[in-house]
Amino acid sequence: MRIFEEKIVTLRQVRKKIFLLGFKSSYLAPRAQPGQFVNIYLQEKDVFLPRPFSIHKIESDIVYLLFKVRGKATQALADMAKGESLRICGPLGKKFDWLAMAKYKRVVLIGGGIGIAPLSFLGEKLSSLSSQKLLFVGAATKKELVVKKELRNYGFMVYTATLDGSAGEKGDIVSVFSRWLEKERIKGKDLCVFGCGPWGMAESLQRVERTYKIGKVWFSFERVIACGLGVCRGCAIETKSGYKLLCQQGPVFNLDEVVFA
Amino acid sequence: MLRVKISNHNFSSPLVLAAGTAGFGQELRGLVDFRKVGALTTKTITLKPRSGNPPPRIFEVDCGIINSIGLENKGLAWLVKKFSSLKKISTQIIVSFSSEDEAGFSIIASGLDKIEDLKFLEVNLSCPNVRKKALFAQSPRQTYRIIKDIRRKTDKFIIAKLSPEVTDIVAVARKALAAGADALSLVNTFFALRVDINTRRPFLGRNASGGLSGPAIKPLALYRTWQIYKSLRAPLIAGGGISNWQDALEFIICGATLVSIGTANFLNPQAGENIYEGLKNFCRRNKIDNIRELRGSLKV
Ligand SMILES: Cc1cc2nc3c(=O)[nH]c(=O)nc-3n(C[C@H](O)[C@H](O)[C@H](O)COP(=O)(O)OP(=O)(O)OC[C@H]3O[C@@H](n4cnc5c(N)ncnc54)[C@H](O)[C@@H]3O)c2cc1C
Ligand SMILES: Cc1cc2nc3c(=O)[nH]c(=O)nc-3n(C[C@H](O)[C@H](O)[C@H](O)COP(=O)(O)O)c2cc1C
Ligand code: FES
């Protein structure tokens, strides 16, 4: 991992409050793996701590982030322009061992809101698997729903949902997923899932995991990151085997292991 | 130009990476040029491993953060085993340690005394996230007893880390020195709290409060540095909110022999190097042969 400065080569709005940002990095592009993230330093924009973003996808030597405007840092990023420099630290976090998904008959990716961000990169790696591949994406409204067409190209069957019913099924994406399990009479043990989204989503997905005895569920979590390097011990997540650091042992955890407060 | 000496110990610069903000150094290998850093203070260790406080442990506020880490660490035995590999980074290593009870301090000190290559001990009397009771550093008498007990166990260089949360910091500082501390380190974090108005819960984990650090505390820390320096002229490792070379210089002018960089390491792991270059340029521009000429030079 390194700290480096790179110029933004693309930055455009893709949905309501959602932006795609690309920078060239011959250092990061060949090294980053699905599950990993970068820290972006934005002190010059008056943002205090660095902010973490998943690697959304990599095309030759261009690394893309997909982010949603939530507060100061993400607004500052959205307001930047092509050609401006970013100070970046990465790759951070553990590489997700996606080959572990290969032994399941069905592979499901679930993204809640901006939780879709890391799924494209992972989906690309999974494209070679012979398993059945499904993608569940949910958002609050149609305007915020991001369905990446590249995932369709990687062989994923796509299900969508919005909270207000303006696109796809009405409801939250985990309920839609569990209804699908019910309707299709899917055997849980044949299935593995990779999810990303807010904490509440993780908690309900864990309930579904236990109800349907799903083979394996991984989840990519969010926490405030101060250093990203394992020095501050600030990013702890509670698991059955004690606290674990999101920036070192995560951000992807075995969902069944995670203890919700 | 930036070399500093305290008794017979040499530091390549007056910059110290503060406890809990630079791990044990190895985490930063390749990112930080340790030759420009005078010393690295380790995360505080305790006798037994500690798993730390329930998350969330960090909350960002204007110009700072509140943390409630709770001294997560692997314990004394781990450190003793690991020390020879920690030594490989090219800077002085200060081992920080603490204990929930008074008796623990001298036990750990005996353990650390056996590490031949270890020269500096920092006694953390002031962590806001461990004890429900008052901090040791809030009592001049307890401070005295603890440092005295440690002094009996070791001849190593002892640094007492003080809390800013006291009525009279000079009184505590005086007792620490009288008990045999070789230097003082200040400030540790200030007690702090932030509340989520929707849930009426604190933003940090179950412990509610935490310790405030970062630029928000700089003027408070500077004031305390000057108070101690002007009364006691003791070697001080001072800081609190330092993020650039100008901040570091302010502390030196207020009497710091070494300055500590904490939260700034999160915002920029290379903060130490940048401050080093800034101080060097300042000295060059102003024809200052050694930074110590500025120590305690506040004109009042
Ligand atoms: C490993 C990881 C990967 C992430 N990947 C993405 C991504 O690909 N796309 C995306 O849009 N978002 C991602 N996030 C979340 C993103 O980091 C936050 O949305 C961003 O930090 C918010 O900053 P802000 O100043 O705009 O908002 P703020 O006003 O600071 O906060 C808005 C929300 O973001 C959270 N937040 C604030 N500071 C931090 C911080 N330092 N670290 C983490 N969370 C924080 C807060 O809890 C709050 O809920 C990721 C988070 C993590 C931990
Ligand atoms: C996340 C975090 C962890 C800390 N851990 C320790 C610790 O283990 N021991 C200690 O003596 N001080 C600890 N501190 C306090 C710092 O060493 C320093 O005294 C304080 O943060 C003030 O300096 P700053 O404003 O430059 O950060 C910690 C501070 C932070 C922010
Ligand atoms: S963010 Fe500092 S240890 Fe993970």
The token pair that represents B105 in the structure block: 């301090």
Decide if B12 contacts B2 (C-beta within 8 A).
yes
> Does A119 lie in the same domain as A212?
yes
Does any domain span residue B30?
A: yes
- What is the CATH number for A110? 3.40.50.80
**Is there a cis peptide before residue B235, judged by omega within 30 degrees of 0?**
no
Q: Which structural domain, as residue segments, surrounds residue A158? A: 98-257
The model's pTM is 0.94
Decide if B15 contacts B276 (C-beta within 8 A).
yes
> Does A29 lie in the same domain as A68?
yes
- Asked whether A119 lines ligand 3 (CB < 6 A), one says no
Decide if A179 contacts A52 (C-beta within 8 A).
no
Grouped pLDDT means (10 residues each) for chain B, 300 residues: 94 97 93 95 96 94 94 96 91 96 95 95 87 85 96 97 96 97 97 93 82 97 98 97 98 98 96 96 96 95
Q: How many domains does chain A have?
A: 2
- What is the CATH number for B113? 3.20.20.70
Domain boundary among A63, A92, A121: A92
pLDDT for residue A234: 96
Residues contacting residue B85 through CB under 8 Å, at least 6 positions apart: B26
pLDDT for residue B240: 98
B54 touches chain A (CB under 8 A): yes
Q: Which of B13, B44, B42, B49 is nearest to B26 (CA)?
A: B42
User: What are residue B202's DSSP bridge partners?
Assistant: B195
B179 touches chain A (CB under 8 A): no
Residues contacting residue A165 through CB under 8 Å, at least 6 positions apart: A171
- Please report, rounded to a whole number, the percentage of residues in chain A having pLDDT higher than 70: 100
The token pair that represents B143 in the structure block: 């401070």
Is B127 catalytic? The answer is: yes
- b/e per residue B68-91 (b: at least 16 CB within 10 A): bbbbbbbebeebbeebeebeebeb
Decide if B291 contacts B252 (C-beta within 8 A).
yes
Does any domain span residue B151?
A: yes
Domain boundary among A39, A58, A92: A92
Q: What is the pLDDT of residues A83-116, one digit of tens each?
A: 999 999 999 999 999 999 999 999 999 999 999 9
pLDDT for residue B132: 67
Pairwise CB contact (< 8 Å): A49 & B65: yes
pLDDT for residue A185: 85
Q: What is the pLDDT of residues A117-137, one digit of tens each?
A: 999 999 999 999 989 999 999
Q: Which structural domain, as residue segments, surrounds residue B68? A: 4-294
Pick left, alpha or beta for residue A162 (phi over 0 → left; psi -120 to 50 → alpha; otherwise beta).
beta
The C-alpha R_g of chain A, in whole angstroms, comes to 18
Q: What is the pLDDT of residues B104-156, one digit of tens each?
A: 999 999 999 999 999 999 999 997 777 667 899 999 999 999 999 999 999 99
Pick left, alpha or beta for residue B247 (phi over 0 → left; psi -120 to 50 → alpha; otherwise beta).
alpha
> CA B87: distance to chain centroid?
19
Element holding A250 (H helix, E strand): none
Strands (E), A93-181: 106-112, 132-139, 157-162, 169-170
Does the pLDDT of residue A261 top 90, yes or no? no
> Does A56 lie in the same domain as A106?
no
Find the largest Cα–Cα distance for chain B. 57
Q: What count of other Cβ atoms lies within 10 Å of the Cβ of residue A249?
A: 17
- The C-alpha angle B54, B18, A93, rounded to 5 degrees, equals 55
Does any domain span residue B300?
A: no
CA A234, CA A224: separation in Å to the nearest integer?
8
- What is the CATH number for A33? 2.40.30.10
Pocket test for ligand 2, best of B21, B98, B224, B261 (most atoms within 8 A of CB): B21
> Does A22 lie in the same domain as A42?
yes
Q: Which of A156, A147, A139 is nearest to A14 (CA)?
A: A147
CA B47, CA B135: separation in Å to the nearest integer?
18
Model ipTM over 0.90: yes
Residue of B nearest to A43 (CA): B267
Residue of A nearest to B64 (CA): A48
Decide if A24 contacts A45 (C-beta within 8 A).
no
Does the pLDDT of residue A148 top 80, yes or no? no
For A238, the closest of B27, B54, B268 (CB atoms) is B54
Q: What is the pLDDT of residues B206-219, one digit of tens each?
A: 667 899 999 999 99
Q: What is the pLDDT of residues A163-204, one digit of tens each?
A: 999 999 999 999 999 999 998 888 889 999 999 999 999 999
> Does A151 lie in the same domain as A73?
no
Q: Which of A175, A194, A172 is nearest to A254 (CA)?
A: A194
CA A4, CA A26: separation in Å to the nearest integer?
11
Q: What is the pLDDT of residues B273-286, one digit of tens each?
A: 999 999 999 999 99
Q: How many domains does chain B have?
A: 1
Phi and psi at A260, nearest 5°, equal -95, 135
Q: How far apart are the first and last CA of chain B?
A: 26
For B28, the closest of A231, A236, A237 (CB atoms) is A231
Does the pLDDT of residue A249 top 80, yes or no? yes
Q: Give B68's DSSP letter.
A: -
Residues contacting residue A187 through CB under 8 Å, at least 6 positions apart: none
Element holding B282 (H helix, E strand): helix B271-285
Mean model confidence pLDDT for chain A? 95
Domain boundary among A40, A63, A92: A92
